Structure 1
Amino acid sequence: MIAHKSSASTGKGDIARSFFGAFRFSRRAIELVWSTSHALTIALATLTLIAGLLPAGIAWVGAQIVDAVVAASREVQSGGAAHLAAVFWLVVLEGLLVGAMAAAQRGISFCQSLLRAQLGQRVNVMILEKALTLDLAHFEDSEFYDKLTRARREASSRPLSLVNRTFGLAQNVIALVSYGVLLVSFSPWAMAVLLLAGLPAFVAETKFSGDAFTLFRWRSPDTRMQLYLETVLAREDGAKEVKLFGLGPMLLDRYRGIFHKLYKADRNLTLRRDSWGLGLGLIGTLTLYGAYAWIAFTTAMARITLGQMTMYFMLFRQGQSAVSAILSSIGGMYEDNLYLSTLYDYLETPVRAPSGSASRGTHATDGIRFERVSFTYPGAESPALEDINLHIRPGESLALVGQNGSGKTTLIKLLTRLYSPDSGRILLDGVDLVDWDETALRRRIGVIFQDFARYQLRVGENVGAGDVNHFEDEARWREASEKGMASEFIENLPAGYETQLGKWFNDGRELSGGQWQKIALARAFMRSEADILVLDEPTAAMDAEAEATIFEHFRTLSKNRIVILISHRFSTVRMADQIIVIQDGRIIEHGNHDQLVQQAGHYAHLFSLQAKGYQ
C-alpha cells in the first residue's frame, strides 16, 4: 500500500513537472519577439495594460449612471433636477472610456499584425540559416526531415501566438484584479467562486492540448508523404511519367487514404475534446446564474442599490470571461510551448564544428592521397567504401569504374568533405582534409554531380552558381560557358544569358538533358582557381560523338589539374591516366587502360561487352 502511494505521488509529480516544464520556451519566445521589434513590443504591452484596466472602470461608471438616474427620477417627481447634469456627464465619461477601450483593442490588433509579419519572416530565416550549417548526412536522414517538417509547419506562428497569449493573460489578470477590488465590497467569496468555476474546463483543455501535440508529432511522416504526392502529381518534372504510366489515379487514391487516416484521428480527438468541453463548460454557466440569483436576492433584501446590482451582474459576467480567458491563455501557452519545442529541437540540432584552418598544403606537388579509407552511411549495415588506397598527382586524371552503388560517388563525397571517413585519412597536398578550412578546400574543387541542380533561375545565374563570388559576373558567365561548350546554344536562346529557365515562372524555357549538362559543365568552370575537377557522369544525356568532342576539349582545358571522372562509357574512361574499378566498396583493379585490358579481369570484360555493342 505504501509503495502504491509512493508510485502515485511520483506520477503526479511527473505530470506537474511535465506541465510546468513545457513553459521553458516562453522566455525565449518573448526574447525573440522583443529582438524582432522593441517599439511594437512596448506598444503592445502598454495597450494591453490599458485594455486590462478599462473594463472595471466602465462597469463602475455604469453603476454610477444607474444610481444617478434613479436619484434624478425621484428628484424630477419632487420638482428638482440637480442629478440630471450628473447623469449627462457620467454618460459622456462612459462613452469616452468605451471609445478608449475600442482604440486600445484596435491598437493591439495593429501591433499583432505587424509583429506577425516580421516574426514569421524572422523564424523562417532562422530555420533556413540553420539548414545552411547542417551536414549532408542530416538531409539524408528521414527522422531529420520529420523534425524539419514539424518546425516549418507550426513554429513560425507559435512564438507570436505565445507572446499574444502572454499579453492577453496579463490583460485579463489586470482586469480580474480590478473586478476583485469592486467585488470584495459585495462578498469576499465572490472571487473564489469565479476562480473555482473555471478550473475543470482548464484541466480538460490542457489535457487535450497535449494529446493534439502528440498527434501532431505522430503524423509528421504521413504529412511529408502527402506533400510529396502533391509534388509528384502537380509539378512538371513528374507529369510526363504520371500521364504515360497512368499513375495519377493510384497516387491520388494513396493521397486520399492518408487524409482519411489523419482525419479519423483528428475527428476522434475533436469529439472527445468538445464533449468534455461542453460538459465541464456547463459548470461555469451554472456558477454564473447561481451568482445572478445571489445578487438578485441581495438586491431584493435592499442590501445593495439597483446600480450596484447592475455593476455586480456585469462584473460577474466579465469576471467569468476573464477567468476563462486566463485559464485558456495558460492552456494555450502550454500548447504553444509544446510546438515551440519542435522549433528549438531543430535549431539546436548539433552540427560538426569546423575542425581545420589550413588554406594551403605543405607539399604542393603531392596531390590527393586516400590512405586506408573506410566509410559506412549512417544506419547502413555494410560499408560503402572499405580500405581505399589511392594517389593522384597534380596534372593526372583518374577514372572510376563500377556498378551503380559500388561506392564511386561516395568517394567524391568524402573528397569534398560532404562526409568524413570512419577510418583512415584523405590528404590534399600533404595535409589531412580534416585540417583544411572547408571554404578554402571547396574553392579548389569544381564538381558536377550526376544529379546536378537545375535552378529555376536565369541562364547566367545557373552558370554563375558555380562561384558565388562571381554569381552576377556576366563576363565570367561567358568565359565559363565557352569552356563548357554551352555558349553556342545559350546565344541562340530568346534572351541569351537573361533567359529564364524552367517552367515555374513566366516565359520560362526548358532545356534538353544534354543542354543542361553543358550548363553544369560551364558551372564547374566558373571556379577558375579550382585545380581539382570532378565529373560524375557529366555527359550521360549526350550522344557518343558529342561526349567525345567535349572530353577532347575538356582535356585541353584541364592541363595541370587533377581530373576525376566517373563514367560508364569506356571511350571516355580509356583517356584517363589511372583507372580504378570499384566493387562493393573496394578497389579490385587499378591501372591504365592498356594494363587493365592485359589483365583480362573485370575491366577487360566490361570493355569487351561495350565494344561489341558498337560492332
Structure 2
Amino acid sequence: MGLYIPYFITVKEGEKLDGNINYKTILHTFSYWPKLLILYYKTNKIYFIGIIILTLLQGVSPVISLYLTQLFVNTIVTTKDSSIEGVLIVFLFFVGFVVVRDILGLIREYIEGLFQTLLSNHMNMLVLTKASTLEQEDFENVEVQDQLKRAQQETSFRPYQIFQQILAFITSITTLISSVIFLFQWNWWMSLLLLLTPFISIPSYMKLSNSEFVLHWQRAPRNRMSWYYTHLLTHDKAFKEVKLFGVADYLLHKFEGIVEGFYKEDKNLAKKRLQLTLVFRTLNLILMGFAIFMVAKATMLKQLLVGSFISYIQAITLTQSNSQHLAQSLVGLCQHNLYIEQLFHFLNMQAAQPQPNSHEGKGIELIKIESIEFKNVSFTYPGTDRYALKGINLFLKRGDAIAIVGKNGSGKSTLIKLIAQLYKDYEGEILINDINIHDYTTESIRSNIGVVFQDFMQYEMPVRENIGISDYQNMDNDDKIYESAFKSGISDLVKALPAQINTQLGKWFPDGIQLSGGQWQRIAIARAFFKDGSIFVLDEPSAALDPESEKEVFEKFTKLIDDKIGIFITHRYTSTRFADRIIYMEDGELNAIGTHQELMHVCNEYRYLYNLQIESFQEPAAVNT
C-alpha cells in the first residue's frame, strides 16, 4: 500500500523517504497562494486587506526614504545663497514622511496582532471541525493520526508564520524592484548584478531544505510518542501506576532519548546551514564592497553629488539585503509545503465511508427504532484479515431486553459498533424497521442510541455537562438532568455535592470533585439515559459496580426499556437474569440464543462458563463452613 506524502515525494512502505525541492517545487509553492489567501481573507476581510495595503506601502517606503535623503542632502550642498526656504521645504517633506511611515507601522502592528489571534482561532476551528467529521476507522488509522497530529501541532502559530513570510516576500520584492529602479540611474549592469547574485545560493539551500523536510516529516511518530510519555507522566489516570511501579525514571529516560535525538539532528542541520550562510554572505559582501567602491570613485571624480553618494550606498545595501532575503524566502516558502500540503490534505480528506451499494444516499430521517435485523452480517476490522463477526443473523424488536455474553474478543462490542454506525464497511445487511440502515442519515441513527461503552468518558466538566452532553440542546433542563441521575442511582450523590449539578468533576480544573470508578460509571449511565433514544446499550455496566449497585442499575434499566430495545453486554453471568433473552457469542458467531434455562440445556460453553463463575463464589463459602 502506498503511503501518502506531499506532492513532490513518492514513497512506499519500507522505502526511504526522499525529498526533491527544486525550481518546479518553487513554482508549485505559488499554486497554494490562492487557497492560502482565501483562507486569510475569510478570517477577517477588513484586517486582511488593510495588512496587504500597508505591506505594499512599507515595501516602497525605503526607496522613498532614499530619494528624500538624496534630495535633502543635495539641496543643502547646492544651495549657494543664505536662503533656506528650499531646504526647509525638503526637510518638512522628509519629517512628514517619517511621521506617516511610523504611524502606518503602528497601525499595521496593531492590526496584525489582532489578525494573528483571529487566524489561530479560525485554523483551530477548521482542524477540530474536520476531526469531528472523521469516523472510528479513521481514528484507528495510524497514518490519519499522524496527519491529524501534524496539522494540530502547529495550527496555533504556523499559518500566521506562513502569512508573515508571504508578507515579507511581498515587502522584499516591492523594495527590491523600487531600489533596483533607483540604482538604474547610476549603473544598470551593477544593479542587475546585485539583484541576481544572491539567487546563486538557492540550489545549495534547496539541498539542505530537502534534508530538513524529510527529517521533520519522519518525526511525526516520534513526536506522538514523546507526547504520550508526557501524557503518562502528567495525567491523573496514569499517576497511580507510574508511582506504584516506579516507572517515572524509565519514562523520563525514554522521553529524554527522543528529545535528545531531535536536538542532535537539529544541531547537525544548523551547522550545515551556518557553513552555507558564511560562504554566500562572504560572496555577497565582496560584491557589495566592489559596488560601494565604484560609487565612491564616481563621487571623487565629481560625477555624483554627496547626497547621491549617500543614497546610492544605501540603495546598494538595500538591494543586496532584499535580494538575499528574497532568495531565502523562496526556499523557506517551499519548506512550509510540509505544513501547507498536509493541512489542505487533512482538511480535504474524506472520512471512512461504507462500500458503495444500492441503498446509500437516500438520507431518511429515523424517528424511532421499532426493530433491528442482522442478515448474514460479517465484519473485519480495517487492516486485519480476521473476522470479528461471522454470518450474524439476529432480530431485535421494541420491548426486548437482551444480554450478550461470551469470552473476550468474541465480537460482543463489535455488534454494537455496527448498530451505531461507527463502522460501515461490512458484508450482509442491517435493517432498521425493515429498511437498510444505509438509507438513514447517520446522525438520526445515532440520535436514537444511548450507549455506555467499557471505556466510557470521564469528562472534566460539571455534572450538568457530564450528563447532558449526550443531548446538549436540552442540557439546561435541570429536571431532566436530575431524572437521569435518579435512573442511574446517582441522584443522592449529585444532590450532596457542593453545587449539585453545577459541581465540577475531576481534578484537572479548580474546585473539582473526584469520583470513584463506580460513581463515574453511574454518571456515564445517566448520560445514556438523558438521551431520548430507542435503544439503550450498556457495555460491561457492572465492571465498576458493587453487587448492590449492580442490582439497582439493572432493575432500573429493565424498567426504562419497557417500550424500547435494551442490550447489555456482561461477563457476569448472574446479571443475565435481568434479560428476556441471552445471546452467547464465540469467535464472532452467535453460538446460541435463548433464556438462561434454555442455554443451560443446549449450549455447553455457556453452561461451563456459568458454572465456573458460580463455583468461584461457592468455593470460599464451602471453606468457611
TM-score range normalised by the length of the shorter chain: over 0.9
Instruction: Supply the distance in 2 between the matched residues of 1:50 and 1:561 (Cα, whole angstroms).
Output: 69
SS at 2:364 equivalent: coil
CA distance in 2, matches of 1:287, 1:146: 46
Counterpart CA distance in 1 for 2:200 and 2:267 is 23
Secondary structure of the equivalent of 1:144?
helix
Shift of 1:294: 1.2
* Kept in 1: contact 2:176–2:323 (CA 8 A): yes
Identify the residue that residue 22 of structure 1 maps to in structure 2: 29
Q: Is the aligned partner of 1:334 residue 2:334?
A: yes
Q: Which residue of 2 is the match for residue 569 of structure 1?
A: 572
Cα shift at 1:323: 1.4
Change over 3 Å in CA distance of 1:166–1:510 after alignment to 2: same
**Counterpart residue number, 2:78:** 71
Is the counterpart of residue 520 in structure 1 residue 548 in structure 2?
Answer: no
Distance 1:207 1:48 in 2: 31
Q: Is the 8 A contact 2:555 2:578 kept in 1?
A: no
SS of 1:465's partner is helix
Distance 1:473 1:249 in 2: 48
CA distance in 2, matches of 1:216, 1:356: 44
Match 1:48 to one of 55, 59, 62: 55
Q: Provide closer, same or farther for how the CA distance between residues 462 and 65 of structure 1 changes in structure 2, counting only shifts above 3 A.
A: same
- Paired residues in the alignment total 595
CA RMSD across the alignment: 2.2
The match for 1:8 is none
Q: Aligned pair 1:92/2:92, yes or no?
A: yes
Look up the SS of the partner of 1:379 in the other structure: coil
3-state SS of 1:587 partner? strand
Could you tell me whether the CA contact under 8 Å between 1:63 and 1:310 is conserved in 2? yes
Q: Is contact 1:296-1:309 (8 Å) kept?
A: yes
- Quick one: structure 1 residues 14 and 238, their matched pair in 2 at CA, closer, same or farther if it must change by over 3 Å? closer
1:358 aligns with 2:364: yes
Write the deviation string for residues 45-65 of structure 1: whole angstroms up to 9, x where unpaired: 221222222221221222223
1-side partners of 2:65 and 2:25: how far apart?
Answer: 40
CA offset at residue 270 of structure 1?
1.4
Q: 2:68 aligns with which of 61, 66, 80?
A: 61
**Contact map agreement 2:504 2:511 (CA 8 A) in 1:** yes
Q: Deviations over 1:53-87 (max 9, x none)?
A: 22212212222233233334xx4xxxx413x4433
1:4 aligned residue: none
Letter in structure 1 aligned against 2:534: D
* Equivalent position of 1:407 in the other structure: 411
Compute the displacement of 1:296 (Å). Answer: 1.3
Q: Is the 8 A contact 1:385 1:410 kept in 2?
A: yes
After the TM superposition, list the runs of 4 or more consecutive aligned residues in structure 1 that deviate by more than 4 angstroms: 11-14
**Is 1:548 equivalent to 2:551 in the alignment?**
yes
Secondary structure of the residue aligned to 2:451 is strand
Residues 106 and 328 of structure 1, relative CA distance in 2, 3 Å threshold:
farther
Q: Alpha carbons of 1:245 and 1:39: their partners in 2 closer, same or farther (altered >3 Å)?
A: same
Residue 468 of structure 1, aligned match among 472, 478, 483? 472
The 3-state SS of whatever aligns with 1:574 is helix
Give the alignment's TM-score, normalised by structure 1. Answer: 0.92
Is the 1:398–1:563 contact (alpha carbons within 8 Å) kept by the matching residues of 2? yes
Q: How does 1:163-182 map to 2 (within 5 A)?
A: 163-182=163-182
Instruction: Confirm or deny: 8 A CA contact 1:414 1:421 kept in the other structure.
Output: no
List aligned pairs for 1:285-296, cutoff 5 A.
Answer: 285-296=285-296
Per the alignment, residue 592 of structure 2 pairs with 589
Distance 1:24 1:159 in 2: 16
1:384 is paired with a residue whose SS is: strand
Shift of 1:324: 2.1
Tell me the residue number matched to 1:601: 604
Unaligned runs of 5+ in 2: 1-17, 354-359, 619-625
Match of 2:152 in 1: 152
Question: Which amino acid is 1:502 matched to?
Answer: G
Question: Are the structure 2 counterparts of residues 396 and 491 from structure 1 closer, same or farther at C-alpha, using a change threshold of 3 Å?
Answer: same
Aligned to 1:5: none
Counterparts of 2:440 and 2:365, CA distance in 1: 6
Q: 2: distance between equivalents of 1:17 and 1:311?
A: 37
For 1:359 and 1:303, locate their aligned partners in 2 and report how far apart those are by CA, in whole Å. Answer: 85
C-alpha distance in structure 1 between counterparts of 2:19 and 2:228, whole Å: 42
Partner of 1:235: 235
Q: Unaligned 5+ residue runs, structure 1?
A: 1-10
Alpha-carbon deviations, 1:6-46, whole Å to 9, x = none?
xxxxx999943333223322111111111211211221122
Deviation at 1:570, TM superposition (A): 1.0
The answer to whether the 8 A contact 2:362-2:439 is kept is: yes
CA contact (8 A) 2:22 2:206 kept: no
Q: Which amino acid aligns with 1:305?
A: L
Residue 226 of structure 2 is matched in structure 1 by: 226
C-alpha deviations, 1:141-164, integer Å up to 9, x for none? Answer: 121111001101224433333333
Show the counterpart of 1:383. 387
Percent identical residues: 32
Q: What SS class does the counterpart of residue 34 from structure 1 fall into?
A: helix
Equivalent-residue separation in structure 1 for 2:19 and 2:437 (angstroms): 53
2:579 is aligned with 1:579 = no
Q: Secondary structure at the match of 2:392?
A: strand
Query: Could you report, residue by residue, the CA deviation over 1:119-154 in whole angstroms, capped at 9, with x for unpaired residues?
Result: 110010000111111111111112111100110122
Q: Which amino acid aligns with 2:546?
A: D
For 1:81, the equivalent position in structure 2 comes to: 82
Q: Within 2, Cα distance between the matches of 1:422 and 1:27?
A: 40
The aligned counterpart of 2:139 is 139
TM-score by length of 2: 0.91
Q: CA deviation at 1:202?
A: 3.5
Structure 1 stretch 461-470 or stretch 17-26: which is displaced more?
17-26
Task: Tell me, in whole angstroms, the C-alpha distance in 2 between the residues paired with 1:584 and 1:554.
Answer: 28
Q: How many Å apart are 1:372 and its aligned residue?
A: 0.8
| Offset of residue 498 of structure 1 | 1.1
Query: Retained in 1: the 8 A contact 2:517–2:544?
Result: yes
